[in-house]
Structure 1
Amino acid sequence: MTSTAKTSPRERLIQAATELFYLEGFATTGVQKLCQTAGVSKRSMYQLFETKDELLAEVLARSGPANFALFLDRSTDGAPRRRILHVFEQMEKLVAAAQYFGCPFVNASIELKDPAHPASEIARQGKQQLTDYFAEQAKLGGAADPATLAIQLTMLFDGLSARVMMYPGNLDGVGIRTAVVLLDANGLPSDA
């Protein structure tokens, strides 16, 4: 955790919530633990965020770009197929290193069970960014139906995220192999 003297109470709360919500879950992370970890009082927290729900929405909005940076290959090198497979290779690496505990967007949405919740909307926007990335790469690679392939790849990503939570450990390449099957079935050539 960053030194409390160098960051504002708001930033410390966001940092603590980002870590705790991801590692322990939103519902199971109590306000007291959150405040203690951040080094702020409950009063300060509620002055900065009306509710823990509001804090979750802020965490998802802020952590989304960093989450995507872990998976997406935005380089101009390599073919679209290679950039798509990179997503699943990165997931494999994070799972093997015990640094991946499911997709934070999916985790939050499952816990909230409320599609109208502001954090659920941010989670949907985050997942849409992944789908858009897949669609862009699929189109560049000449896939027969880039939009459908993008949804299929996002569903694969989300399914793997859930599997990691149920069966911690190694994915044994199943995500990569399944993505290859989807890419082949959708006409995205090996050299694309």
Structure 2
Amino acid sequence: MNTSSTAETGTDGGTVTRLLDAAARLFYEQGVGVGIAALCEAAGVSKRSMYQYFDSKDEVLAAALARSAPGHLARLLPGPYDTTTPRARILGVFERIEQTAADPGYRGCPFVSIASEVKVADHPARAVAREFHDQLTAFFRGALVEAGVRRPDLLAQQLTAVHDGFFSGSSVQGRPLRGLATSMAATLLDAAQVGTSRRSGTAAAPST
């Protein structure tokens, strides 16, 4: 083990933490084009130290994104003891999305941004982004199953698409699209009769 990394941070684990902290901040604020030199300078470590723990910048990017995923999900999803209705829990996610977008430091969803910037299909960071979206979709599906929706898989994917589209759209516009994500999600839930007076899974057949 190279002793220079220990000298820089006090512990080897500190080197990794500083690299991931710097990577999360720089990639979020400036995009994936940030170079290794700038990353190492921001982290206060040498390139040699970085390569002790990661084979490439791509690995650092994926690791930083993976480390942020649990916290990001925890901020979006309801807590384990939430006893509100499935509709309320789903719409609460979109309300929190809009609150996030209103923050002055908002630069978009890191998972949507990374997936858009990285063009290589098997890039490790894209795998992390897909896992995040799979977990978000799984939450929606679980709530929709509880609500008795007839086709929960499709509606869960549509809700995830609203999440992605809202973050992409607000990034393009350069401003939060207030109320849009929640209203779009509510429209989808209304169409499936989630939380309406009629049962979700017993929608009337269209008239002929």
Q: Is the counterpart of residue 173 in structure 1 residue 179 in structure 2?
A: yes
Evaluate the alpha carbon distance shift between residue 115 and residue 95 of structure 1 in structure 2; reply closer, same or farther with a 3 A threshold.
Answer: same
Aligned-partner Cα distance in 1 for 2:93–2:107: 15
| Counterpart position of 1:80 | 86
**Structure 1 unaligned regions, length at least 5:** none
Aligned-partner Cα distance in 1 for 2:124–2:19: 18
Q: CA deviation at 1:99?
A: 3.7
Select between 149-158 and 138-147 the one with higher mean Cα deviation: 138-147
Q: Identify which of 48, 54, 57 aligns with 1:43.
A: 48
| Counterpart position of 1:59 | 64
Q: What do residues 73-101 of structure 1 show as CA deviations (whole Å, max 9, x unaligned)?
A: 12332111111111110111111122432
- Structure 1 segment 9-20 matched on structure 2, within 5 A: 9-20=15-26
Q: CA deviation at 1:54?
A: 0.7
Aligned-partner Cα distance in 2 for 1:170–1:159: 12
Q: What do residues 108-157 of structure 1 show as CA deviations (whole Å, max 9, x unaligned)?
A: 12111111112211211111000001101111122221111100000000
| Counterpart position of 2:138 | 132
| Counterpart position of 1:115 | 121
- Structure 1 segment 134-149 matched on structure 2, within 5 A: 134-149=140-155
Aligned-partner Cα distance in 1 for 2:50–2:88: 44
Q: Is the counterpart of residue 182 in structure 1 residue 188 in structure 2?
A: yes
Aligned-partner Cα distance in 2 for 1:100–1:69: 17
| Counterpart position of 2:109 | 103
Amino acid at match of 2:63: E
State TM-score, norm by structure 2: 0.84
Q: CA deviation at 1:190?
A: 4.2
Instruction: Return structure 1 stretches of 4+ with deviation > 3 angstroms.
Output: 4-7
Aligned-partner Cα distance in 2 for 1:56–1:190: 43
* Two-structure CA RMSD over aligned residues (Å): 1.7
Q: Give the paired residue count.
A: 188
How much identity, in percent, do the aligned residues show? 41
Larger Rg: 2
CA contact (8 A) 1:91 1:100 kept: no
Aligned-partner Cα distance in 2 for 1:63–1:47: 22
Amino acid at match of 2:44: G
Q: CA deviation at 1:34?
A: 1.0
CA contact (8 A) 1:98 1:169 kept: no
Q: Identify which of 66, 70, 84 aligns with 2:75.
A: 70
Select between 76-85 and 151-160 the one with higher mean Cα deviation: 76-85
